[in-house]
Structure 1
């Protein structure tokens, strides 16, 4: 596992470089990832708008701020993502804002399709669901915990929708974005801080 993590870290990006990578591809009419389609490029364009908005509007709770300021251990937060992923667009800006609050956290991001071995270590119910935040000990690269692909409430929403309608369609995706809009990043903050509290 360690060699896979080392390999992924060697081709990881900062948040700024990750965002720039997506922008360059969009200017070429492409999305990130192996599969290319009009739909994925369209989702990527929507996500660009969402992330730009969230970068400006995300508010960090005082409890989150206090925890980030008093971290004792040093971590690498390694996130598996893609530009077309709606959940990633909602969660990554929150994780970035949190990481910025502490010099104990080094945030690195990798693209899922370029890091299949890593993704296969962190499947969700057998699927390559993203985003996935992997919290590593900065020195040993030991995996200390992970979060994702969604907060519990968003997972519950999707699960309930699937039970009621038998599938996840465009309406479900749109309604999930509304769930995130109303949540304002609070659930992501709460679940990541809870995980950090257990590690500290």
Structure 2
């Protein structure tokens, strides 16, 4: 399954995705088929995280300058789910970066509704999200990929796994602390590099 304009248009804008998460929270639900109490609680928490991440995020001049060098229209497709903490913490930054250049259109697809596509963009064999894939809007040629989290946060997860970590709450706390301290600086640095190969 390849991305095409029709699939792209079925995706949520960031504003629509925010509304979806809010609606799910009000209904005591989450996205996807797993409606466990834990994932529903994560969804509630993620609604707050998205608001907080958007408030504390400052788009750097260097990032804007780099993204404005994208002269051909691009589609940015992000695979995500409402229960995913990394999606909640990164999507506000991705949305702000996309909005800085009118040549960039962003859409969010729910991972579990698009598994054939997701399975083309695995991370270490897993369906890790969020996963962003940028395409040329006319040719649909892939331009770059990013995800599921900034490299420094990903290293925390890899180190935790290598140490035989089993307490996912411990991992989550370590990653959350990193995000709180970083405030979207690293993701901007990474996009400054990958968006202009």
Shorter-chain TM band? over 0.9
Corresponding residue of 1:113: 112
Equivalent-residue separation in structure 2 for 1:54 and 1:15 (angstroms): 14
CA contact (8 A) 2:70 2:196 kept: no
Q: How does 1:66-81 map to 2 (within 5 A)?
A: 66-81=65-80
CA RMSD of superposed structures (Å): 1.4
Q: Which runs of 5+ in 2 are unaligned?
A: none
Displacement of 1:112 in angstroms is 0.5
Equivalent-residue separation in structure 1 for 2:144 and 2:64 (angstroms): 20
Distance 1:10 1:100, change over 3 A: closer
Corresponding residue of 2:22: 23
Structure 1 runs, 4 residues or longer, greater than 6 Å off: none
Equivalent-residue separation in structure 2 for 1:10 and 1:184 (angstroms): 30
Corresponding residue of 2:51: 52
Equivalent-residue separation in structure 2 for 1:127 and 1:171 (angstroms): 20
Corresponding residue of 1:38: 37
Displacement of 1:126 in angstroms is 1.2
CA contact (8 A) 1:8 1:118 kept: no
- What's the TM-score, normalizing by structure 1? 0.93
Q: Which runs of 5+ in 1 are unaligned?
A: none
The DSSP-based 3-state class of the residue aligned with 1:121 is coil
Q: How does 1:181-192 map to 2 (within 5 A)?
A: 181-192=180-191
Displacement of 1:165 in angstroms is 4.1
Q: Does residue 173 of structure 1 match 2:168?
A: no
Equivalent-residue separation in structure 2 for 1:100 and 1:12 (angstroms): 16
Deviation per residue, 1:146-186 (Å, 9 max, x gap): 00011110111111122224335211112211111111111
- What's the TM-score, normalizing by structure 2? 0.95
| Structure with the largest fraction of helix | 1
Equivalent-residue separation in structure 1 for 2:91 and 2:51 (angstroms): 11
Equivalent-residue separation in structure 2 for 1:32 and 1:42 (angstroms): 12
Corresponding residue of 1:193: 192
Q: Does residue 152 of structure 1 match 2:167?
A: no
Equivalent-residue separation in structure 2 for 1:10 and 1:95 (angstroms): 18
